[in-house]
Structure 1
Amino acid sequence: MSDHQSPAGDNPPILVLNPDGSCTRFISFPCSPPTPDQDSDTPVLSKDVAIDDSNKTGVRIHLPKETLITPVAKLPLIVYYHGGGFILMSASSTHTHNFCNQLASHLHAVVVSVDYRLAPEHRLPAAYEDGMEALHWIKSSKDPWLTGFVDFSNCYLMGTSAGANLAYHVAVRASLQLHDLEPLKIKGVILHHLFIGGVERTGAEIRLADTGGMLTLSRCDAMWDLSLPVGSSREHEYCNPMAGGGLDDVMGGMKKVGWRVMVTGCYGDLLIDRQMGFAKMLELKGVENECFFGEGYHGIELDDELKAKELFDVISKFML
């Protein structure tokens, strides 16, 4: 394999594929260690647990410390999938870690943040498979933070950006495996800044193609080129859930199990047209859904605590 920079003129490139099949990433994110010690000054404890050593998959569990100090009724579970265009970040990335801590604290929930395999070393559907594997691990786990404090009948899937895409595709798969996932019972899906695409450009993609933020149109193209199955276009169902002929079956399955879906986004996000179109599709297919759109850019709640609190308040009402 020859040297290959990420496409679409990204400068600097997101990553370079090396001749030996490995890749060098040029964008890195600071990481935060877990804080499992009850004597630490953080209001949320966290710890890492491996799922599959060969695939290097696992989870970081976030538990409100007050639950250990003053036990209350068991808490809802949020299974969270991080963003990064399927090629970047992890559950230990500081953005992810801090967001999940805030999520656990504000919603009084246990958050299980999933570390899944990244592309291009592991192209889709590898991340979806890892997302499902995490659900099966959770349902049979003997980890005391889960068995002691989680209400397994009150579970929500949530993801940010590519993680929202992952949460959606995991939900589609999970809707066909309800009995296999017991006692885990999913009640809803929260799609935060859903990362989807397509070949034909939308008005927002043209208007906001290069807004100076982390997510530009050229970067979107690069991420899809590096994460979709080799030879696939952006009309692949992994990228464009509105494409393909199986949509009625997919939505019918989601409707049948009665899961509610929340779609959140910002008007300054170049993906806003697609996110609103996806929400409209859910409505047309009879899937119960709620929308929360506001001002800002892609992933703003990971940077802005006030915007995050606003989002958490909406999610809290959705979960009631």
Structure 2
Amino acid sequence: MQSILDPAILFFVFGLLAGALRSNLEIPPQIARFLSLYLLMALGLKGGFALHQSGLTSAVSVSLGCAVALAVLVPWLGYKLLSRRLNGYDAAAIAATYGSVSAVTFITSVQYLDSRHLPYGGHMAAAMALMESPAIIMAVLLANLVRQKEQKAAGQAATRNTPLSHILHESMTDGAQLLLLGAMVIGIVTGESGHHAMQPFAGDLFKGMLSFFLLDMGLQAARNMGELRGKSPWLLAYGLVGPLAHACLALALCWVLGVSEGDAALLMVLAASASYIAVPAVVRHAIPEANPSLYIGMSLGLTFPFNILLGIPLYVNVAHRVLG
């Protein structure tokens, strides 16, 4: 209950209610884009300042290794399961969506840990960046294989598939991801002096900016819930059970490798989150055969609200009980 009473979460709930009531309240897209970039920049700076203090230790390397492993395991397992119920294109698109990460969910979880004075590594922002692209690349490769099989079965000449080099370039040079990494490097270079200089920007304003952005996300989530009408109950169950299973996979990996409680909680959040911006933007171009109402509706209309309202405190509490 305490997490629901957080002002940022209450603004998200308010956005959900306003969207459900079909209010004309909206945040202009340019402002929403600015808020998103601000949050990533502030997160990158915070991570960089923390990394300047801690340095690249063995614990940091283990956490980053876990992030990469999860970025490969989650979409692969998701595709294996989803392809039993869906065509290969939809299975690949949804697996990519749930195999990648939600920056806003991660930022909200960082704020949750900060408000409760629970320690975590600044390098976890780098872990989020590392988990962004593998699922996209895997989905495109899987979709290309499905496309080739269909053309072979139909006796057609193989058409040109989406070039992997194009996907790699688009994933690695995405503006939001570059801003996050660039801000982190600046934080590492400037260290304590940079931390003091940027505190009013990256620290004092952070909570208010996050609240404003979550208001917009509540509005968007409410409006995307309509995409779920008429969809298979099995898919709706996956939108809730899938993240929980992914979080458990992350917890097991962290337990085996001895990852700290705070880092493990954030890895659980990352594994449980689903992308609704970066992956859909690439998938719409690379896998046009997939149905956007499935992967966008499920991630933004179902999984995102679940994680913001219930998932984050659940993952943090479970990590504390198991690893604390």
Q: TM-score range by the shorter chain?
A: under 0.3
TM-score computed with the length of structure 1 as normaliser: 0.22
For CA contacts below 8 A with separation 6 or more, give which structure has more relative contact order.
2
TM-score computed with the length of structure 2 as normaliser: 0.22
Instruction: Give the structure with the higher percent strand.
Output: 1
